[in-house]
Structure 1
């Protein structure tokens, strides 16, 4: 399914600029089945993650470079299985305080994780979960721009203006709203480049999920990837369609974690 050639960056690479999406992680109930699914879909390989994390974890690799993290969801935690994006910070404690002061919450941390750095997990005022991290030895995703890697992050929430302002003040983004009477969307920019989107969906926000972030993964062919998702026991939530960023589809893995597939414009 994937070609792991591309921008694998060396261990000495520079840290991500503050505000940049820098990592994604997934907490699951069946790690072995999850590894089998994503390994077959994206060509990921896996190696053990930091031992100090709560429960076992693995790092997903493409061509030897790190792409994502997968951990075991504690059995006493009744949380949805979901992909969580992390945004880079030069000072996690200060960013966590900014999250709180602007109406968000911090549920985990800030704390140090050996081999990873300092991190916190919180939610914005609408309830969407995201992470903040300052890298130490582990700088975050080491492979980008090739099939099987995160390409885009999009927040689905009730309305874009208030929530986009939250992220703007916490991370220093610039906003680019879509001027439309029937489409509520804001693109968040950092140093002149788009890094994430905020979609105000109103009553169309799923009741079982509430406001949430969706990670888009690059694929060579969206329609082929959708077929592969179904063959591997996943679900199609939004069929493949063409859009501004290319051909996309929203799917879910066998445990219900939602993510999107993105085939760039040709």
Structure 2
């Protein structure tokens, strides 16, 4: 994990708006919506409200009354992985989708209008990692980040960080900051602030996963949160360990959607 400072305000308030190219939302598509609500409700204290009908069976997850994420149901006829997907803000989803295609990526869903959620599209970068694009409507409130129960950071694991980072730089206007050339680690910045990271593993990337984004959710005590994940039927993929940015663990929910837990350094 690279430096996530600056992604959310220190007091956890949602920023007034999202600069284009900034991660602005995360969503999860699952097979069993009710069981998934029970898992994340017990883990993070989320409550759920119905979301846009254009997205099919879909709910917004709320923390203290503020939106933090979305969860929908996978179409039964599509064999897609269950995974958390970050969305990047855009002033014009259609133009951004065109840029994705012209830079070697693909658009698999949309662009489409989703009521007060704005206009959305889901695509993949040239390596195959899935991400979303979101153009907020006038009624869309920004999601809360950086507080317990909310996302704080997104990191892409891929084959070649430097190569794939060029794609995001061109499409979203990110600036690359090479953290460790030897480790193939790049942080993506906007206006001098870190917004996401790209980590290249080369041939060490697990074939069963392929290139993928990982969302980090904040918790007050990562060791307790890991115990709750186990009790709720999830898996612990990497036990809690200390990093430069806090205590981190990698886990998966009962449908094998993988995500990270972060207890920020004091």
Fold-level similarity (TM above 0.5)? yes
Alignment of 1:133 with 2:162, yes or no, is no
| Equivalent pair of 1:52/1:114 in contact (CA under 8 Å) | yes
Please, which moves more after superposition, 185-194 or 134-143? 134-143
SS in 1 for 2:39: helix
Any conservation in 2 of the 1:8–1:65 contact (CA below 8 Å)? no
Contact 2:151 2:215 in 1 (8 A): yes
Unaligned ranges ≥5, structure 2: 1-10
TM value normalised by structure 2: 0.92
Aligned equivalent of 1:215: 215
Q: Which runs of 5+ in 1 are unaligned?
A: 1-5
- Secondary structure at the aligned position of 1:33 is classed as helix
Contact 2:24 2:143 in 1 (8 A): no
Count of residues in correspondence between the two structures: 256
- 1:72-112, Cα deviation, whole Å (9 max, x unpaired): 11111110101010000011111111111111111111111
Aligned to 2:18: 16
2:85–2:213: 8 Å Cα contact kept in structure 1? yes
Partner of 1:202: 202
| CA displacement at 1:17 relative to structure 2 | 0.9
Does the 8 Å CA contact 1:68/1:141 hold for their aligned counterparts? no
Report if aligned partners of 1:15, 1:139 keep a CA contact under 8 Å in 2: no
Distance 1:214 1:138, change over 3 A: farther
**Could you tell me whether the CA contact under 8 Å between 2:39 and 2:232 is conserved in 1?**
yes
Q: Hey, what does 1:58 align to over in structure 2? A: 59
Aligned residue number for residue 118 of structure 1: 119
Q: Which residue of 1 aligns with 2:96?
A: 95
- Pairwise CA distance, 1:244: 2.4
Spell out, residue by residue over 1:20-47, the C-alpha distance to the aligned partner (whole angstroms, 9 max, x if none). 1000000010011000000000000001
Which residue pairs with 1:26 in the alignment?
Answer: 28
Q: CA deviation at 1:113?
A: 1.2
CA deviation after TM superposition for structure 1 residue 137, in Å: 4.1
CA distance in 2, matches of 1:62, 1:158: 35
Q: 2:20 & 2:195 partners in 1: Cα distance?
A: 12
